């Protein structure tokens, strides 16, 4: 399967104007994302899709650039336009603010497209600062591992523990956060963007809800270890600089995984780029030698949408 990695990038942003070109360690943020993608073994080519001339001029020095219309309502729509000019079978959408995206996760999402029409990833929320952060998207799933809903609000609501702190609630329930990566069969992506922007997508400003509302997103969870939070604000850059200044902290740490769950070998633990309101604390590098149950998830959609595949859980 010929798979393209496409990174949607726009200059305008209410939270962080010009974010893709923000310099980090002598390179624009978007270049770090491109270089991370090139470490993945599954991508035939990495492309930046943008409507901005400044981003185009910077990015074309280190990768292919596809110019798109300026009126796209989401990154999904933007990469779909770029995909029409790509001669491939599948597309992985990597968010332009994920400079620490693990290439093994990219490979896992791409590999899932062999028998699924759409794939993405999620992981447990461990940091109390992410619990009620609207920039950290939460997802709830059913007993078969299919996604029920994505929200910027904390879901589910723990009625019996509502008075507890964020840390107490995280200890009481395995809250999942969605990671900024999607895989699509090319024909699925082009079909998805023909649907109008859905009411839930409009309300939450979450493009994956369009796929969920239109029956494209039915998913299976495979347990793994991964954590990655994007640069959503200017202040997030400070922590990123601290992280990449320590080579040992920027290493990818690969857990040993039981053979029965080989797909999860493509998912590895790496540095979490934490975003906090005041004090920045550099994340610690922690070696993983086993795969604890329920520590993270890779989510895929069923190709035929006729049934939900069972949950496969790794146990340490």
**What separation, in Å, do the N-terminal and C-terminal C-alpha atoms of the chain show?**
33
pLDDT at 239: 46
pLDDT at 243: 46
Residue 109, in any domain of the structure: yes
Which letter does DSSP use for residue 269 in this model? Answer: B
The residue ranges of DSSP E strands in 191-236, in sequence order, are 219-223
Tell me which residue of 260, 269, 270 sits closest to 315, measured CA to CA.
Answer: 260
Tell me which residue of 128, 120, 102, 129 sits closest to 252, measured CA to CA.
Answer: 102
Instruction: Indicate if the alpha-carbon torsion angle 248, 44, 4, 16 is positive or negative.
Output: positive
Asked whether 83 and 4 are in contact (CB, 8 A), the reply is yes
Q: Which residue has the higher pLDDT, 129 or 230?
A: 129
> What pTM did the predictor assign?
0.72
- The phi, psi pair for 243, rounded to 5°, reads -65, -50
Residue 272, in any domain of the structure: no
Residue 315, in any domain of the structure: no
Tell me which residue of 185, 160, 183 sits closest to 173, measured CA to CA.
Answer: 160
The total number of structural domains that make up the chain: 1
pLDDT band of residue 218 (cuts 50, 70, 90) is low
Asked whether 299 and 147 are in contact (CB, 8 A), the reply is yes
Query: Would you put residue 128 in left (φ > 0), alpha (ψ -120 to 50) or beta?
Result: alpha
31-48 as b/e, with b when 16 or more CB fall inside 10 Å? bbbbebbbebebbeebbb
Which two tokens mark 213?
Answer: 């509302």
Q: What is the CATH number of the domain that holds 109?
A: 3.90.550.10
pLDDT at 281: 34
CA distances from 316 to 199, 223, 264, 297 (A): 41, 11, 13, 15
Tell me what the pLDDT averaged over the chain comes to: 74
Residue 31, in any domain of the structure: yes
The pLDDT tens digits for 66-76 are 999 999 999 99
Residue 93, in any domain of the structure: yes
pLDDT score of 176 more than 60:
yes
Instruction: Indicate if the alpha-carbon torsion angle 240, 242, 243, 246 is positive or negative.
Output: positive
DSSP percent split of the chain into helix, strand, coil, nearest 5: 30, 20, 50
pLDDT at 219: 56
Q: Which residue has the higher pLDDT, 245 or 264?
A: 245
Residue 301, in any domain of the structure: no
Which letter does DSSP use for residue 295 in this model? Answer: S
* Residue for token pair 């008075």: 163
Q: Mean pLDDT over residues 174-194, rounded? A: 93
Domain ranges, residue 181: 3-214
pLDDT score of 83 more than 80:
yes
pLDDT at 114: 87
Tell me which residue of 299, 303, 284 sits closest to 182, measured CA to CA.
Answer: 299
Mapping DSSP to helix (H, G, I), strand (E, B) and coil, where does residue 155 land?
Answer: coil
């Amino acid at each position: 399967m010929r798979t393209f990695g496409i990174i949607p990038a726009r200059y305008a942003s209410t939270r962080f104007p010009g974010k893709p070109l923000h310099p980090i360690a002598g390179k624009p943020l978007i270049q770090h994302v491109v270089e991370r993608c090139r470490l993945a073994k599954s991508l035939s080519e990495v492309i930046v899709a943008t409507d901005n001339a400044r981003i185009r001029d910077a990015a074309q020095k280190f990768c292919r650039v596809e110019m798109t219309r300026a009126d796209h309502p989401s990154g999904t729509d933007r990469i779909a336009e770029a995909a029409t000019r790509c001669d491939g079978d599948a597309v992985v959408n990597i968010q332009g603010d994920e400079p620490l995206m693990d290439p093994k996760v990219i490979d896992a999402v791409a590999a899932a497209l062999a028998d699924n029409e759409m794939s993405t990833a999620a992981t447990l929320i461990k940091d109390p600062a992410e619990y009620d952060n609207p920039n950290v998207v939460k997802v709830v799933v059913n007993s078969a591992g299919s996604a029920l809903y994505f929200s910027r609000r904390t879901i589910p609501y723990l009625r019996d523990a509502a008075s507890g702190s964020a840390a107490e609630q995280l200890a009481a329930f395995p809250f999942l956060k969605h990671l900024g990566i999607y895989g699509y069969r090319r024909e699925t992506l082009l079909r998805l963007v023909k649907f109008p922007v859905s009411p839930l997508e409009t309300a939450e400003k979450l493009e994956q809800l369009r796929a969920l509302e239109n029956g494209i997103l039915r998913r299976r969870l495979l347990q793994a270890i991964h954590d990655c939070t994007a640069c959503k604000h200017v202040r997030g850059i400070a922590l990123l600089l601290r992280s990449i200044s320590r080579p040992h902290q920027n290493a990818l740490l690969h857990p040993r995984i039981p053979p029965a769950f080989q797909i999860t070998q493509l998912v590895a633990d790496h540095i979490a780029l934490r975003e906090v309101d005041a004090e920045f604390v550099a994340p610690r590098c922690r070696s993983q030698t086993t795969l604890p149950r329920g520590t993270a998830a890779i989510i895929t959609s069923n190709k035929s949408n006729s049934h939900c595949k069972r949950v496969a859980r790794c146990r340490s």
